[in-house]
Structure 1
Amino acid sequence: MGRVYRVMIIDDEESARKLMRAAFKWDELGMEVVGEAASGIEAINVIDDIRPDIAFVDISMPFMDGIEFTETATERYPNLIIIIMTAIDKFEYARKCVSLPVFDYMLKPMVRDEVIKVLQRAKNKLDSRKDIVENTVLDKESEVLSETASTELIKKYVKENFMDSKLNLAFIAQNFGFSPSYLSRKFKQDTGKNFVEYLTDLRMKKALKYAETGYKMYQTAGEVGIPDPNYFSRCFKKYTGMSYSDYVTEKGM
């Protein structure tokens, strides 16, 4: 039997939350509604206990709206699938927030068949993510990574995905089923280098190649997964001993 995914409904209208609970045969979708909240603040306060895989979030709520909730929640849980619910008069406001990691936007009142399609897509994504983790890392029998072999798998994953700005120690730990502190100790023990150093080394090696082709600093920063130009600049100077502009000049660009 496949995993049952956990759903949370966040809406300040109690009737809307009850309707969402009653409108679907959640068990047939491989899901269960595990919690509700009437505001973004309430949701943030209980999300650690509920630990949902999917959250339906109303965009317009008192105290902390759906956008603020999304910003806060995705920092803590980067893999949380968020589906924003919005009335038509708020839709353009919602669309202005496309930079946020929102899975989908749905207009209220929501159409049952459309919600089911979105949920099926969400389930497919969760299943796919689960398969990747199982096939590359987790030993479901022991819940423990073996020796050096598991670290090699993590290194391989990081090499293939270091351009993703979301990739960091917490992200890897969550995806591979470990606490960040444990993974940090294990990675250092197996490689002699801490995880941040390893990740930064990959990003800086790639950054040098972009710099040598004349890329602007902000372009290179985005390409290697460090979109904050100030942080990128500090990393680059520490790695090379010179500023990005000086390096480009030295290479004759």
Structure 2
Amino acid sequence: MMYRVMIIDDEMSARRLLQVSIDWKSLDMELVGEAESGIEAINIIDDLRPDIVFVDISMPFMNGIEFIEVATKRYTDLMIIVLTGFDDFEYARQCVRLPVIEYLLKPIVRQEVTEVLTKIKEKLDKHNSRTQEIGHEITPSDIEKIMQYLRDNFTDSNINLTSVAQNFGFNPSYLSRKFKQETGKSFVEFLIKCRMERAIVLAGTSKKMFCTANDVGIPDPNYFGRCFKKYTGSSYSDYVSAHTQR
């Protein structure tokens, strides 16, 4: 089986170096996605479903330690590799009292990364038993309840598929499939819709983008900006300008 890998680092050069320097296929691995911050990672990790995550310690809006604290509570089987600069190395080791698999110093060395991934692959191969699918069947009233829960709580930046599944007692992959079947939208699409509809209202009041981003549960303004443009077809500033000219 192919193991899924995600890279979380705000430095594009670091993400690219990892992508091109490792022979992923020979390790039975594939890169399924990347994020520029912990906030963005929390929002997209359920869609990517990684087995292994590289995460940088120093990132804006949600640093690597904060991401690890959230992720290890929700994804108990996730293999986490911490990337850190020399100056932050001891800080990272002291702060992360969590099930981190390995630490790698930046700039990365291909041989070291390959050795770490080989060890992780062996662990995954040995413990490749996946969670059984469900505790109980999802009914239409449960969808309704989950949709209402999202409408009421979308401003929480830590909310995502896994946290909601745990809250309602469902397996995340099962909830993901049933949510799409019942609503016609993926869980992430519905959550983004809730956030962007509120963002459009706030943009209409000429509210600053970073304030709106924080108010709708996406405190990373870069990720918020990409979501807003994808949803509305225009940048936040263009939308505000067009509205105030009316």
Q: Give the TM-score range, shorter chain.
A: 0.5 to 0.7
Backbone CA RMSD of aligned residues: 2.6
Write the deviation string for residues 82-105 of structure 1: whole angstroms up to 9, x where unpaired. Answer: 000000000111011242110011
Query: In the alignment, does 2:18 pair up with 1:20?
Result: yes
Whole-angstrom distance in 2 between the partners of 1:117 and 1:98: 22
Instruction: Find the counterpart in structure 1 of residue 57 from structure 2.
Output: 59
Whole-angstrom distance in 1 between the partners of 2:63 and 2:96: 15
Say if 2:7 and 2:53, in contact at 8 Å, map to a contact too. yes
Write the deviation string for residues 109-142 of structure 1: whole angstroms up to 9, x where unpaired. Answer: 1111111010011111111111xx38xx97xxxx
Query: In the alignment, does 2:28 pair up with 1:30?
Result: yes
Whole-angstrom distance in 2 between the partners of 1:111 and 1:39: 23
Write the deviation string for residues 158-193 of structure 1: whole angstroms up to 9, x where unpaired. Answer: xxxxxxxxxxxx9xxx9xxx838x9xxxxxxxxxxx
Instruction: Find the counterpart in structure 1 of residue 86 from structure 2.
Output: 88
Whole-angstrom distance in 2 between the partners of 1:25 and 1:57: 19
TM-score (norm 1): 0.52
Whole-angstrom distance in 1 between the partners of 2:99 and 2:67: 12
Instruction: Find the counterpart in structure 2 of residue 238 from structure 1.
Output: none
Whole-angstrom distance in 1 between the partners of 2:61 and 2:115: 31
TM alignment of 1:1-253, pairs within 5 A: 3-130=1-128, 133=129, 179=171
Letter in 1 for 2:104: M
Secondary structure in structure 2 of the residue aligned to 1:106: strand
Write the deviation string for residues 59-91 of structure 1: whole angstroms up to 9, x where unpaired. Answer: 000010000000011111011000000000001
Whole-angstrom distance in 2 between the partners of 1:27 and 1:104: 21
Letter in 1 for 2:102: D
Write the deviation string for residues 14-40 of structure 1: whole angstroms up to 9, x where unpaired. Answer: 111111110111111100000000000
Letter in 2 for 1:123: K
Percent identity (aligned): 62
From the CA coordinates, give the structure whose radius of gyration is larger.
Answer: 1
Letter in 1 for 2:66: E
TM-score (norm 2): 0.53
Instruction: Find the counterpart in structure 2 of residue 196 from structure 1.
Output: none
Letter in 1 for 2:103: Y
Unaligned 5+ residue runs, structure 1? 145-169, 183-253
> How many equivalent residue pairs?
142
Whole-angstrom distance in 1 between the partners of 2:34 and 2:7: 5
Whole-angstrom distance in 2 between the partners of 1:61 and 1:179: 30
Whole-angstrom distance in 2 between the partners of 1:59 and 1:17: 14
Query: 4+ runs of 1 displaced by more than 4 Å?
Result: none
Deviation of 1:5 after TM superposition, in Å, equals 0.2
